[in-house]
């Protein structure tokens, strides 16, 4: 059962209302954790733009971004995050077999930079480090800027996944859970 819900619009403080308007103006909605963060409106105003930047202005190709987010959702077993981003991954051109492998906790069949994104994401979640050879490969293939963006993306979606799990954000009606509890 969901533990926390966004504040009701008619019960919002001025600060919450202002933050909600800013977030909806930039992100289009208060889905996922965005509405929950309104309980701390100044925090919401600062965190939401980071996700907006990574999704809308970041330079990491969309399919690589979604692979990294799915690895994060799988690591945290974040049902809502998986639900939201499995669809976006398909739209970004991630093969269904890759999505299924990540869901099953198995290495997907990837090549080149896509493989490096998967390996960096997996390594950071599993060992909390990037081994030096992998780091060098990632920088040589992606460039330093995209490696920095990738690490920020993983951190942001860790924050999102933790919040979704902590407050037990429910899936839309009729959507099946993907992870064992």
Residues 52 and 66 in one domain: no
CB-CB contact of 13 with 40 (8 Å): no
Residues 68 and 143 in one domain: yes
The model's pTM is 0.96
Does a structural domain hold residue 171? no
Residues 152 and 74 in one domain: yes
Residue from 90, 38, 34, 43 nearest 66 by CA? 90
Neighbouring C-beta atoms of residue 42, cutoff 10 Å: 12
Tens-digit pLDDT profile for residues 61-73: 999 999 999 999 9
Residues 94 and 43 in one domain: no
Tens-digit pLDDT profile for residues 12-51: 999 999 999 999 999 999 999 999 999 999 999 999 999 9
């Amino acid at each position: 059962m969901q533990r926390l819900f966004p504040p009701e619009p008619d019960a919002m403080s001025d600060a919450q209302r202002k933050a909600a308007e800013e977030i909806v103006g930039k992100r289009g909605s208060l889905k996922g954790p965005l509405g929950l963060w309104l309980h701390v409106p100044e925090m919401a105003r600062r965190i939401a733009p980071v996700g907006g930047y990574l999704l809308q202005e970041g330079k990491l190709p969309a399919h690589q971004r979604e692979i990294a987010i799915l690895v994060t959702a799988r690591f945290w077993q974040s049902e809502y995050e998986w639900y939201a981003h499995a669809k976006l991954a398909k739209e970004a051109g991630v093969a269904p077999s890759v999505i299924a492998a990540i869901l099953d906790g198995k290495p997907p069949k990837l090549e080149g930079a896509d493989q490096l994104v998967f390996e960096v994401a997996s390594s950071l979640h599993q060992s909390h480090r990037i081994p030096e050879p992998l780091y060098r490969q990632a920088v040589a293939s992606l460039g330093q800027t995209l490696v920095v963006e990738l690490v920020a993306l993983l951190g942001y979606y860790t924050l999102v996944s933790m919040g979704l799990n902590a407050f037990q954000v429910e899936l839309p009606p009729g959507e099946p859970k993907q992870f064992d509890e």
